[in-house]
Amino acid sequence: MKKIAYFLLACTMTASAAQAQDQGKLTGKDCKVQIRRAAGVSKDISDRNLSELASISDDSIDALRRLHAFSLGTLISDVTTAEKAIRRHQTALMNWSKADVAIAEIDTASKGLIKKGWCEYAESYLLLGSAIAKRNEAFHLQDMQFQLDLAKLYLENKRFDLTQANLKLMLDQKNPGSQLSPAQKAEANSLMGESFFSINDYGNAALFFEQSINLMEQNNSYNKGFLLENLYLLAASQYLANSFLKGEKTFEKIARLDNTTPMISRIASLYDQDVVADYKKGNIKDAIGNAEKRLGFFNARRDELQTKIKSQYGPSIELNKLLREHQETEHNQLKTMLTLAEVLHSQSQLDKALDLYTQILASHKNSQIYGRLDFQVHSNLTRLYLTKKEFKLAEDHSLTAYEIAEKSFTPLHPSLTSAMANLAYVYKINDKTDFAEELYLKLINLLKDESIYGYEELPAYYEQLGEIYLAKANFPDARKFYELAYEKNTALQGNKKDPLIRCTKALITVYRKLDETNKAREMEKELAKFDSPAQKLKTSSSKKSKA
């Protein structure tokens, strides 16, 4: 069973989910076996290994264990000899007089090979164990366990056809040779669910996960962690199959079983991860479609809860529960609206994004719960109005975002420093340079320490201050901050050539204004080094000096 983290990965619909459909016949490590087998080994090593192999007998359990240890030790350096040792080991076990001893040794050998990643050899041991167990009805459950281990092995190696074929045979109640213990039956259903989940057949995945959970609960013999993992994967399957209400009930069940489980209100953020993943992969249509579908679900759920709330008479525990769930549903709806608005915003569908941003702000009264959500909306609206060149509106939203950030975040929080930088930039555009200067100086003072997030933005803030002082004809301060920007940008020249060029050009102007001719000429020489056709910017004086 995969760890719970697999559920989170599956929900984000990342590239790993697509890769799971590649039904290759060899794992990476097994491929390495083929490479080593083709590469060969020196004759001295081979002879030495063959001599040692010949010295190991196979007439006792201790000797067989030494034989198996020898095969594991030589698989890396001498595959051919190791395979001879494996064949001897398997032949001896096949003919061993005590089947229970042989089965136990095969189980140990297969687990050791799986642990080391030698899957093709582990498969041969599991098949051998199943063949020996089939000889005696007393070992039927051991045979079924070997079959389950084979299914796990096939599943791990993305051989989903073999996984499902084995498990269907085991779960076939008409097959007299497939009687499983309740625990084995639960595990088989769980593995079948995982195989369908891996190929994106979420409907069948949910069916088998549900059967596995029912078997565990009916027999009251299960590991709590195993049950929770099945519940998580069941919820994931239900959501991905668009069975939202079933998924919600499954999460409620998880919450009752495990106090460490995130609140149901977090489900929306899990939802939106797949929207973001689609967006990052360029599947814009899918990202928008999934977000809109989600909003439809939240709208319907909110309306349903409102109807139930109205039907309640007087205060009660049920009313409190409904009110709390209504608030959570509304909050989830707003977060999904924000995700959708940001996707539309990124695609320059500004009017649609603006409509959603406006709906979010109009849907609730200001409160601590929505403070950070509002901060993000006002920050996004700042960018939107800057794009539309509506600078007055951009300033209004930027100022609101900054005020919210001051109340919601610590002084060095990245959201606060970015809000401060955005507001300073908007003030500068709107010719409120005194306000902009004050904020940039405050930012520089906050971000002096290299360990603080946002320190790498210092060169940009130095440059902005240089521009402000240059526009005010305050050439000494302009020189100070342009030199600081130049110094910081020099270290990043390979990645950030354009800022360096801008600072160099500005310093030439400032040095000329201050009659520092030698420094201006030095900067002109530096500017001449940028020989890209798009970036080779030279002043008229540098052209004259070359002539």
Band (70; pLDDT cuts 50, 70, 90)? confident
| Selection from 87-91, 193-197, 532-536 with the highest mean pLDDT | 193-197
Q: Average pLDDT for residues 374-403, to the nearest whole number?
A: 94
Rg (CA), the chain: 34
Q: Where are the alpha helices (DSSP H) in 135-181?
A: 140-156, 160-171
pLDDT of residue 505: 92
Read off the pLDDT of each residue in 336-353 and give the average, rounded to a whole number.
Answer: 91
* Reported confidence tier of residue 345, pLDDT bands at 50, 70, 90: very high
The predicted model gives 401-416 an average pLDDT of 86
Q: Is the pLDDT of residue 123 over 80?
A: yes
Report the 10 Å Cβ neighbour count for 514: 14
Model confidence at 515, pLDDT cuts 50, 70, 90, reads very high
Please give the C-alpha separations between residue 23 and each of 13, 157, 160, 162, 198, in angstroms, as whole numbers. Answer: 18, 8, 7, 10, 11
Q: How confident is the model at residue 440 (pLDDT cuts 50, 70, 90)?
A: very high
Q: What is the mean pLDDT of the chain?
A: 77
More confident residue, 175 or 544: 175
In terms of C-beta density within 10 A (0-12 exposed, 13-18 middle, 19 or more buried), how is residue 67 classed?
Answer: buried
User: Which of 291, 353, 394 minimizes the C-alpha distance to 361?
Assistant: 353
User: Would the pLDDT of 366 be above 80?
Assistant: no
Residue 125 has pLDDT above 80, yes or no: yes
Tell me which of 175-189, 382-396, 424-438 is least confident. Answer: 175-189
Can you tell me the mean pLDDT for 514-537? Answer: 76
Most confident among 100-104, 233-237, 272-276, 347-351 (mean pLDDT): 347-351
Q: Residue 539: what pLDDT?
A: 39
Q: What is the pLDDT of residue 370?
A: 63
Mean pLDDT of 45-69: 80
Phi, psi dihedrals of residue 325, rounded to the nearest 5°: -65, -35
In a domain, 540, yes or no: yes
How many structural domains compose the chain?
A: 2
**How confident is the model over 111-134, as a mean pLDDT?**
80
pLDDT band at 413 (very low <50, low <70, confident <90, very high): confident
Mean pLDDT confidence for 346-365: 88
pLDDT tens per residue across span 291-318: 888 888 888 888 888 888 778 765 667 7
> At which of 104, 139, 157 does a domain end?
157
Average pLDDT value for residue range 71-88: 79
148 within a domain of the structure (yes/no): yes
Q: What is the pLDDT of residue 499?
A: 85
By percentage, how much of the chain surpasses pLDDT 70? 80
The band of 438, judged by pLDDT with boundaries at 50, 70 and 90, is: very high
The Cβ of residue 379 has, within 10 Å, a number of other Cβ atoms equal to 21
Which pLDDT does position 469 carry in this prediction? Answer: 94
Cβ atoms within 10 Å of 417's Cβ, excluding its own: 23
Residue 168 pLDDT exceeds 90 = no
Phi and psi at 136, nearest 5°, equal: -130, 125
pLDDT band for position 479 (cuts 50, 70, 90): very high
Position 429 scores a pLDDT of 94
Asked whether the beta carbons of 375 and 408 are under 8 A apart, the reply is: yes
Q: Best-predicted range by mean pLDDT among 228-242, 356-370, 404-418, 422-436?
A: 422-436
pLDDT at 351: 94
Which domain-ending residue is among 117, 137, 157? Answer: 157
Tell me which of 37 and 44 has the higher pLDDT.
44
| pLDDT: which is higher, 172 or 416 | 416
Q: For residue 401, give Cα distances in angstroms to 109, 195, 352, 383, 405.
A: 63, 47, 21, 12, 6
- Residue 347 belongs to some domain of the structure: no
- The whole-number pLDDT of residue 396 equals 95
pLDDT at 537: 42
In a domain, 306, yes or no: no
* 3 lies in some domain: no
Q: Report yes or no on 413 lying in a domain.
A: no
**Percent of the chain having pLDDT more than 90?**
21
Q: Please give the model's pTM, rounded to 2 decimal places.
A: 0.50
Can you tell me the distance from the alpha carbon of 279 to that of 286, in angstroms, rounded to the nearest whole number?
8
Q: Look at residue 171 and tell me whether its pLDDT is greater than 90.
A: no
174's CB contacts (< 8 A; 6+ apart) are: none
Domain end call among 115, 131, 157: 157
Q: Does residue 503 form part of some domain?
A: yes
Most confident of 34-48, 231-245, 427-441, 519-533: 427-441
Compute the distance between CA of residue 267 and CA of residue 336 in angstroms, rounded to an integer. Answer: 11
Asked if the structure places residue 66 within a domain, the reply is yes
Which of the two residues, 482 and 547, has the higher pLDDT score? Answer: 482
pLDDT band of residue 30 (cuts 50, 70, 90) is: very low
Reading the block at residue 527, the tokens are 């500017």
Q: 265-269, 403-407, 433-437 — which is least confidently predicted?
A: 265-269
In which domain, by residue range, is 512 found? 461-547
Mean pLDDT of 359-374: 71
